[in-house]
Amino acid sequence: MTEQRAQRIANLTRAAQTKRQDAIARAEAGLRTLIKSNAAVNFRSVAEAGRVSLDFLYRNDDLRRRIEHLRAQHRPAHAHKQTSPPAEASSVVASLTAKLRDAHTETLNYAPNWQQHTVNCSRYDADPAPPPPTTGTSSLQTRHQQLDQHLHDHRPNY
């Protein structure tokens, strides 16, 4: 029985080693394909080209170092080239910048009013609302009128 168990373990170990070597070969073939086609070299592209998992690439130290080295070394030419934005994009940016400038100016114009508003709010906080009325429909209407009057009396003046 122990001999059979040892044989199974040896068979599983050989199968795992073979599977790992096949995955390494696929990853290296994918890496060579990417280099020959001048494509971007990164973990995801190598995993797709070699039909291996990202986890496998990250766990394999040799492949990981090669991919990191090639990724840093091999940048596509279009990644470094700066292009000017299209004319309509710059007009959109100009329009939005003008709107932002106008909004900022408008905010600055309201600044003195905020001081008055703060005074009005502090007065409102110090002056409690009228007490609630007793029950009944007419008392609800009266309460509504009282609250309207209270809000009207304490409205900030702009």
| Each residue's pLDDT tens digit, 79-127 | 555 555 555 667 888 888 888 888 877 777 766 666 666 666 665 555 5
* Gyration radius (Cα) of the chain, Å: 37
Range among 15-29, 119-133, 139-153 rated most confident: 15-29
| pLDDT grade for 19, boundaries at 50, 70 and 90 | very high
How many C-beta neighbours within 10 Å does residue 52 have? Answer: 21
How many C-beta neighbours within 10 Å does residue 47 have? Answer: 20
d(CA 129, CA 141): 16
d(CA 152, CA 147): 8
Q: Check residue 143 and give its pLDDT.
A: 74
Look up the pTM and report it. Answer: 0.46
Q: Are 25 and 17 in contact (CB under 8 A)?
A: no
d(CA 72, CA 41): 9
| pLDDT grade for 74, boundaries at 50, 70 and 90 | low
